[in-house]
Chain A
Amino acid sequence: MPAVLSEAFVSPAAGTVPSALAVEALSLSFGGVTALSDISFAVAPGEIRAVIGPNGAGKSSLLNVVSGLYQPDRGRVWLGGHSFAAVPTDRLAKLGVSRTFQNLALFKGLSVLDNVAAGLSHRLRAGLFAQVIGLPAARRERAEGYARAEELLAFLHLDGVRDRPAGTLPYGMQKRVELARALVARPRLLLLDEPMAGMTLTEKRDLSGHIRAARDDLGTTIVLIEHDVGVVMGLSDRIAVLDYGRLIADGTPDQIRNDPVVIDAYLGVAHDLEAGEGI
């Protein structure tokens, strides 16, 4: 597998077009349990790349390594031309990377508008004193932040709920607010951890449209973890398949659909197929 991958693997070191994201021989284990084992792949700019696999395959661990919440035991992560042994989470937003979480990670006590505007926190320059006194620069910065947030609310059809506390919204809408917060800074790379979990079919279709629009209109590269394989096949350019922490396949939806190894991983003896899942 690594031999095949190396052709697709374009790290800045290789000197060709830099990938939006590349991981190189990532390994991670928790007290003897292997979460990721020697994983390498690259995501081209402007690509929508899905990561699928059975429960416990290591998908979320992979995103957590890429966003620096976990430190890999071995391997490197390439982001925006920089290589990291451990991604600095505090600088993630500055590197042009944003993410959503598998379980809702909104600021429940803040309004929808403030949640989305918070996505621009890494750009704030004004100090506390300037904000409290209301110096022109601080006021301009605050107004610009809200204006950007309003644009995103309109983009994701959330303008009707802008002043409501985020915690009081229905689940599907909270997911969309999280997407807006992740998109407001116009990230180069967006990581989505099960953005459609628990959504109805209509909500999933809507969100797929929004994700595609984010790529087409904002030029964002997207890596998403998703369980609903039907959605994944329609949405992604390429799909990486994880099983037991290993990358067992990486290719176009058609290649993945017909890959015997993938079919085996999903239908094989080792894993039970979850209700509602399948290829």
Chain B
Amino acid sequence: MTDLALEKTAAAAPHRASPALLGIGALLIVAYGVLPLVASEYLFDAILTPFLALALAGLGLNILTGYAGQVSLGSSAFMAVGAYAAYNLALRLPGVPFLVDILLAGLVAAAVGLLFGLPSLRLRGFYLAVSTLAAQFFVQWVFNKVGWFSNNSPSGIVTVPPLSVAGLPLDSSAGRYLFALGVVTAVTLAVWRLVESPTGRALVALRDHETAARVIGIPVLRVKLLAFAVSSFIIGVAGVLWAFAYLRTVEPAGFNLDRSFQILFIVIIGGLASLRGAFLGAALIVVFPLLLSRLGEALLGGLFDSGVLEMSQRIVLGLLIVTFLIAEPAGLAALLDRLWNRAWNWISGRFRRTG
């Protein structure tokens, strides 16, 4: 990038700050005020609620991988821990409010994440990524093997109790959506505060130059473990939403390696170290298969069955990821930024010419 281009974006920044806030405000109004009134059950159950849960998981992984630079391939294990912890807390401690259950489930996931984060103190890059696979397989194995976690259900699949907060039943599609939205809004706000804080700065410092970070006195080991714990906490909460707001059942197979990769793809496609990226990536991952199946049906009719759909999903998604890694490593977030800048320059250019 040339100096000139940089100065231009820097100069545009003050103008952009308020549109960004306006944009977030508008999104929140639509999400809280408009959608609950107009959206269909299908939109809630098949798109919006899973989108929120996956966006939150993406947000959690982004802290670890995008900000702190530690690759993890075991995200869905922590979703599983969160989901099973919340299920067992609700089952075994019926008096405890569900919001407390969520908090505790997140803390359990954080503790497990901390444990599986210990190898990061000695391993990095590819070797660390492989060691996070251990979390994936071990956790899934435990939930399959130990009946206690699923209340000795013979099929291994358990149905979670209906969602209610402070006596208010939220078991309708819109209710579960609103509940997920509330949790995601609160966690996103906290994450935004985190990445803007000195601790967030330490995460990036660790990613960009670990030796320099040590020399200036950043407690590298502590920050690494903190990244694992916070990331696993958020992914655990995402698991609670996945189980209680979206599926309303819990089974180990739902949190397999495919899901972990899905979350990783959300972060890569959306944009590493970008909060918006997690939401953009999750939107793409949720909406894209639906669009693809509609498109396939329209073009090929009966030939486009579920097997073909699944295969073509994988192929197109793979192509997308390779394309993003090569052409736009900073993901959809950066892509949109660039488009927005271009549009802004075009608009302000026109104004200058006419005015």
A and B interact: yes
Q: Which residue of B is nearest A138, CB measured? A: B197
Q: Using an 8 Å CB-CB cutoff, how does the interface string of A98-136 with B read, 1 for contact, 0 for none?
A: 110100011111100010011101111010100111100
Contacts of B202 in A (CB 8 A): 118, 121
A164 at interface by CB-CB < 8 Å: yes
Complex Cα spacing A123 to B216, Å: 10
Is B6 in contact with A122, judged by CB distance below 8 angstroms? no
Give the size range of B's interface with the partner. 20 to 34
B201 at interface by CB-CB < 8 Å: yes
Is A119 in contact with B216, judged by CB distance below 8 angstroms? yes
Q: Using an 8 Å CB-CB cutoff, how does the interface string of B210-224 with A read, 1 for contact, 0 for none?
A: 011111111110000
Q: Which residue of B is nearest A141, CB measured? A: B198
Is A90 in contact with B6, judged by CB distance below 8 angstroms? no
Q: A98-B215, A105-B212, A121-B217 are in contact. Are A131 and B193 (CB under 8 A)?
A: yes
B257 at interface by CB-CB < 8 Å: no
Contacts of B198 in A (CB 8 A): 117, 121, 124, 126, 131, 141-142, 145
Q: A131-B193, A163-B10 are in contact. Are A99 and B215 (CB under 8 A)?
A: yes
Complex Cα spacing A170 to B4, Å: 12
Number of interface residues of A (CB under 8 A): 41
A94 at interface by CB-CB < 8 Å: yes
Number of A-B contacts (CB under 8 A): 96
Is B208 in contact with A107, judged by CB distance below 8 angstroms? yes
Identify B197's interface contact among A67, A91, A107, A132, CB under 8 A: A132
Identify B216's interface contact among A98, A110, A133, A170, CB under 8 A: A98
Complex Cα spacing A121 to B3, Å: 30
Q: Using an 8 Å CB-CB cutoff, how does the interface string of B51-93 with A read, 1 for contact, 0 for none?
A: 0000000000000000000000000000000000000000000
A181 at interface by CB-CB < 8 Å: yes
Q: How near does chain A come to B114, taking the closest CB pair, in angstroms?
A: 14
Contacts of B194 in A (CB 8 A): 128, 131-132
Is A90 in contact with B217, judged by CB distance below 8 angstroms? yes
Contacts of A114 in B (CB 8 A): 201, 204
Is B215 in contact with A93, judged by CB distance below 8 angstroms? yes
Q: A118-B202, A131-B197, A142-B197 are in contact. Are A181 and B207 (CB under 8 A)?
A: no
Complex Cα spacing A16 to B236, Å: 59
Contacts of B218 in A (CB 8 A): 118, 121-122
Contacts of B213 in A (CB 8 A): 107, 118, 121
Q: A106-B209, A107-B208, A109-B207 are in contact. Are A134 and B193 (CB under 8 A)?
A: yes
B273 at interface by CB-CB < 8 Å: yes
Q: Which residue of A is nearest B272, CB measured? A: A109
Is A181 in contact with B216, judged by CB distance below 8 angstroms? yes
Q: A118-B202, A119-B216, A163-B13 are in contact. Are A69 and B211 (CB under 8 A)?
A: yes
* Central interface residue in B3, B201, B205, B211, by most chain A CB within 10 Å: B201
Complex Cα spacing A128 to B10, Å: 30
B226 at interface by CB-CB < 8 Å: yes
A85 at interface by CB-CB < 8 Å: no
A252 at interface by CB-CB < 8 Å: no
A34 at interface by CB-CB < 8 Å: no
Q: Which residue of B is nearest A128, CB measured? A: B199
Identify B1's interface contact among A69, A126, A168, A181, CB under 8 A: A168
Is A105 in contact with B211, judged by CB distance below 8 angstroms? yes
Q: Which residue of B is nearest A69, CB measured? A: B211
Contacts of A105 in B (CB 8 A): 209, 211-212
Is B212 in contact with A106, judged by CB distance below 8 angstroms? yes
Q: Which residue of B is nearest A89, CB measured? A: B214
A197 at interface by CB-CB < 8 Å: no
Q: A145-B198, A168-B6 are in contact. Are A93 and B216 (CB under 8 A)?
A: yes
Complex Cα spacing A109 to B213, Å: 13
Is A110 in contact with B204, judged by CB distance below 8 angstroms? yes
A92 at interface by CB-CB < 8 Å: yes
Q: How near does chain B come to A71, taking the closest CB pair, in angstroms?
A: 14
Complex Cα spacing A94 to B207, Å: 22
B190 at interface by CB-CB < 8 Å: yes
Contacts of B226 in A (CB 8 A): 128
Given contacts A90-B217, A122-B218, 15 further A-B contacts (CB under 8 A): A90-B220, A93-B215, A98-B216, A101-B211, A106-B209, A114-B204, A119-B216, A121-B205, A121-B216, A121-B218, A128-B199, A131-B198, A142-B197, A142-B198, A163-B13
A selection of 24 A-B contacts at a CB cut-off of 8 Å is A69-B215, A89-B215, A91-B217, A94-B217, A101-B211, A106-B209, A107-B212, A107-B213, A110-B201, A114-B201, A117-B201, A118-B202, A118-B205, A118-B216, A121-B216, A122-B216, A122-B217, A123-B217, A131-B197, A134-B193, A138-B197, A142-B197, A145-B198, A170-B3
- 7 smallest CB-CB distances across A and B, nearest first, come from A122-B217, A93-B217, A131-B197, A105-B212, A107-B208, A132-B193, A121-B218
